[in-house]
């Protein structure tokens, strides 16, 4: 009887529980059905309470909270498709960069080797939650990016210590940061900027897990918070604005090719025994001087009428960009009033034979042609005498000196540029006409800029039918002394292509005092144009002493 009772109890338990659950479910459903189901309340974000807003704000993208940040879904899609290839490229760069760093520790603390067993950034790329571009007067492009990366990297580092192998694994990496990236300086050589300057605009959030030989060391009480605080302090101390990280893009040779390094002073002294080209047995010689690698027009001496042994003693200055590759070309011509001027001879002097600050007098045999065969069979067609002196700019002078001279200058303190040195001596005045805005003429808008300095006139190209011309043209003036009490006149003019009246009109002008340029060394500013409705002009001026 007891066995039967036990069996009945088990059967009741097995059947009763499911049956009770089913009955309870239907009772619940039908009891709720009698109540009216209300639609969810939808309200604008501005009507929510403080607590609801605080919960929502971290999840709202920055391009929603701050209108000047732009949404860049296209860039995130680009990163998503490129990530498998970027992952391999970045990991290879990490291996190359880390190799010399690891080599420093081998042999210390019984470490026999350090190597990556696995190195992958995972399958999840970082996401850009907003980007904005900042405008500056300098030759640079400034961007701010908000980056969030919750990645699944697989990074395992093996340390061989004595006879032990210790594996350190990084997992569950999260990085939230606001970066400012500056492409500077912009230049006409691909990729059109020299370096990238990166800095953090606020404290970043970095979270990760770490396992050593399979054990999660972050589970140790207090260690997680200590590692997080220490890491954040290190990153902030090195990269939080105004601290920066510079990433070079162009090599130094490419950058140096676009930067003047000094001034070449040339004195054309005289010529001897030039050939006779006129019917009366004389010639009317003059000399054309050009610097290779320079697109500027040739400079000329005066014409010496009916003279086969002319004396000039005329001085010229050239801006040197590369002392090792450039050369001074001299061509002697016979002036003719009617026909083409005949070349009497030519010669070339490589600048690498010059020593800084040293005056070098050269007496050169003139050549009829640069052809090698012609040079070997060259007849005596005269000589030319020139004096050459290369004076480097103060910022470049140290690299042209011998080590002993450099040491002596440092000992004496003469390598420090004083205010008196800046205010005397030769130098290069560089003027860049960048752009103009809101220039407007009464008859036409074909603006160009005219620069007048010390009686010398230079002009930019003309821009057709625009009120916002962008020239970005540079003009250089080699001066024997700083222009302390002088002004440079810049005028924006408009000229009609076809004949009309008036064919030319002024759109405004500005006069800039050079005293500020010499004292500061560099200015970059926008100036309101005088006699213009709303026009402004943006210029960059630099004084580089030699």
Interval 463-492: pLDDT, tens: 998 999 999 888 888 888 888 888 999 999
**Which run of H or E residues covers position 342?**
strand 342-350
- Enclosing H/E stretch for 235: helix 223-239
Question: Tokens representing 20?
Answer: 């009770």
Given this model, what pLDDT does residue 509 score?
Answer: 92
Integer Cα distance of 495 and 248 in angstroms: 43
Segment 57-81 shows an average pLDDT of 75
Q: Which range in 51-65, 289-303, 394-408, 413-427 is most confidently predicted, on average pLDDT?
A: 289-303
Residue 377 is predicted with a pLDDT of 54
CA dihedral 480, 481, 484, 487 (to 10 degrees): 0
427-545 shares the fold of 256-370+380-392: yes
Using H for helix, E for strand and C for coil, what is the string for 269-322? EEEECCCCCCCCCCCCEEEEEEECCCCCCCEECCCCCCCCCCEEEEEEEEEECC
* % of residues, the chain, pLDDT over 90: 16
Over 90: is that where the pLDDT of 288 sits?
yes
Q: How confident is the model at residue 209 (pLDDT cuts 50, 70, 90)?
A: confident
> For position 322, what pLDDT does the model report?
83
The pLDDT of residue 313 is 92
Distance CA 195, CA 192 (A): 10
Distance of CA 192 to the CA centre of its chain: 7
Confirm or reject CATH 2.60.40.10 for domain 256-370+380-392, answering yes or no: no
pLDDT for position 185? 83
Q: Say if residue 414's pLDDT is above 50.
A: no
Q: What are phi and psi of 240, to 5 degrees?
A: -75, 130
Band of pLDDT at residue 460, cut at 50, 70 and 90: very high
Is 57 in contact with 65 (CB distance < 8 Å)?
A: yes
- CB of 361 closer than 8 Å to CB of 383: no
Question: Structural domain boundaries of the chain?
Answer: 59-250, 256-370+380-392, 427-545
Q: Dihedral, CA atoms, 76, 81, 86, 91, nearest 10 degrees?
A: 100
* Residue 87 parent element (H or E): helix 73-105
Work out the average pLDDT over 505-530: 89
Q: 302 falls in which pLDDT band (50, 70, 90)?
A: very high
Alpha carbons 426 and 478: distance in angstroms, whole number: 8
**Alpha carbon distance 312, 332 (integer Å):** 12
Least confident window among 90-94, 251-255, 373-377, 454-458: 373-377
| pLDDT per position as a tens digit, 2-43 | 556 655 566 665 566 666 666 766 666 565 555 555 666 676
- State how far the alpha carbon of 261 is from the alpha carbons of 315, 393, 395, 406, 541, in Å: 20, 6, 8, 17, 17
- Alpha-carbon separation of residue 123 from 74, 116, 177, 181, 516 (angstroms): 18, 19, 20, 25, 56
What is the pTM (predicted TM-score) of this model? 0.63
**What is residue 384's predicted lDDT score, i.e. its pLDDT?**
92
Output the pLDDT for position 451.
Answer: 93
pLDDT in tens, 123-150: 889 988 888 888 777 788 888 888 888 8
How far is residue 521's CA from residue 57's CA, in Å, rounded to a whole number?
47
For residue 281, pLDDT beyond 80: no
- In this predicted structure, what is the pLDDT of residue 13? 58
Euclidean distance between CA atoms 130 and 207, whole angstroms: 21
What's the full length of the chain, in residues?
Answer: 546
The confidence score (pLDDT) of residue 4 equals 61
Res 498: pLDDT: 66
* pLDDT band of 331, cuts 50, 70, 90: very high
- Residue with more model confidence, 497 or 485: 485
Contact 131, 144 (CB under 8 A): yes
Asked if residue 353 lies in contact with residue 373, where contact means CB atoms within 8 angstroms, the answer is: no
- Say how many C-beta atoms besides its own lie within 10 A of residue 281's C-beta: 9
SS3 at position 27? helix
Which among 366, 375, 335, 333 is positioned nearest to 348, based on CA atoms? 366
Q: Which two tokens stand for residue 167?
A: 């594996």
57-61, 99-103, 173-177, 226-230: lowest mean pLDDT where?
A: 57-61
Q: Fold for domain 427-545? A: Immunoglobulin-like (2.60.40)
> Please, which pLDDT band fits residue 294 given cuts at 50, 70 and 90?
confident
- Residue 405, pLDDT > 60, answer no
Q: How far is 518 from 512, CA to CA, in rounded Å? A: 12
In the block, which residue shows the tokens 């047995």?
A: 281
Mean per-residue pLDDT for 105-114?
Answer: 77
Identify the H or E element spanning 264: strand 262-272
**DSSP reduced 3-state for 140:** coil
Residue 418 has pLDDT above 50, yes or no: no
Report helix, strand or coil for 485.
coil
pLDDT of residue 73: 87
Q: What is the CA radius of gyration of the chain?
A: 38
Mean confidence (pLDDT) of the chain? 79
pLDDT, average across residues 47-51: 67
- Render pLDDT for 358-384 as a digit per residue (tens, 0 to 9): 899 999 988 887 654 555 455 688 899
């Amino acid at each position: 009887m007891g066995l039967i009772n036990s069996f009945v109890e088990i059967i009741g338990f097995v059947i009763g529980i499911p049956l009770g659950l089913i009955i309870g479910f239907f009772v619940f459903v039908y009891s709720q059905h009698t109540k009216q189901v209300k639609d969810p309340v939808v309200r604008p974000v501005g009507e929510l309470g403080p607590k609801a807003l605080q919960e929502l704000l971290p999840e709202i993208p920055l391009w929603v909270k701050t209108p000047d940040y732009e949404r860049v879904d296209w860039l995130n899609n680009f990163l998503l498709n490129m990530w498998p290839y970027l992952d391999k490229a970045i990991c290879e760069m990490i291996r190359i960069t880390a190799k010399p760093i690891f080599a420093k520790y081998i042999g210390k603390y019984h470490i026999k080797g350090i190597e990556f067993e696995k190195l992958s950034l995972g399958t999840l790329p970082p996401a850009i939650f907003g980007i904005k571009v900042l405008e500056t007067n300098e030759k640079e492009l400034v961007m701010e990016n908000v980056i969030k990366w919750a990645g699944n990297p697989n990074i395992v580092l093996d340390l061989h210590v004595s006879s032990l192998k210790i594996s350190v694994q990084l997992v569950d990496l999260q990085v939230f940061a606001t970066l400012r990236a500056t492409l500077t300086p912009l230049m006409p050589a691909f990729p059109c900027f020299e370096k990238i300057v990166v800095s953090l605009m606020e404290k970043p959030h970095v979270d990760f897990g770490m396992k050593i030989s399979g054990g999660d060391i972050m589970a140790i009480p207090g260690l997680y918070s200590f590692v997080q605080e220490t890491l954040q302090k290190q990153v902030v101390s090195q990269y939080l604005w105004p601290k920066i990280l510079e990433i070079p893009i162009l090599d130094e040779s490419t950058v140096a090719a676009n930067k003047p390094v000094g001034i070449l002073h040339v004195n054309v002294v005289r010529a001897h025994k030039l050939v006779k080209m006129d019917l009366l047995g004389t010639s009317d010689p003059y000399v054309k001087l050009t610097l290779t690698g320079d697109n500027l027009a040739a400079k000329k001496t005066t014409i010496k009428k009916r003279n086969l042994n002319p004396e000039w003693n005329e001085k010229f200055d050239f801006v040197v960009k590369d002392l090792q590759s450039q050369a001074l070309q001299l061509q002697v011509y016979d002036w003719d009033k009617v026909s083409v001027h005949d070349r009497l001879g030519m010669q070339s002097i490589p600048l690498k034979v010059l020593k800084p600050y040293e005056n070098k007098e050269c007496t050169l045999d003139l050549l009829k042609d640069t052809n090698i065969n012609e040079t070997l069979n060259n007849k005596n067609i005269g000589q030319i005498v020139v004096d050459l002196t290369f004076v480097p700019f103060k910022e470049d002078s140290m690299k042209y000196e011998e080590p002993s001279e450099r040491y002596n200058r440092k000992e004496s303190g003469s390598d420090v540029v004083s205010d008196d040195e800046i205010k005397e001596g030769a130098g290069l005045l560089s003027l860049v006409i960048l752009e103009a805005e809101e220039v407007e003429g009464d008859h036409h808008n074909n603006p160009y800029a005219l620069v007048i300095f010390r009686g010398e006139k230079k002009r930019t190209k003309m821009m057709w039918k625009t009120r916002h011309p962008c020239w970005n043209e540079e003009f250089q003036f080699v001066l024997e002394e700083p222009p302390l009490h002088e002004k440079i006149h810049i005028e924006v003019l408009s000229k009609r292509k076809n004949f009309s009246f008036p064919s030319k009109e002024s759109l405004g002008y500005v006069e800039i005092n050079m005293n500020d340029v010499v004292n500061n060394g560099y200015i970059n500013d926008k100036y309101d144009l005088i006699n213009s409705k709303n026009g402004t002009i943006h210029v960059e001026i630099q004084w580089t002493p030699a």
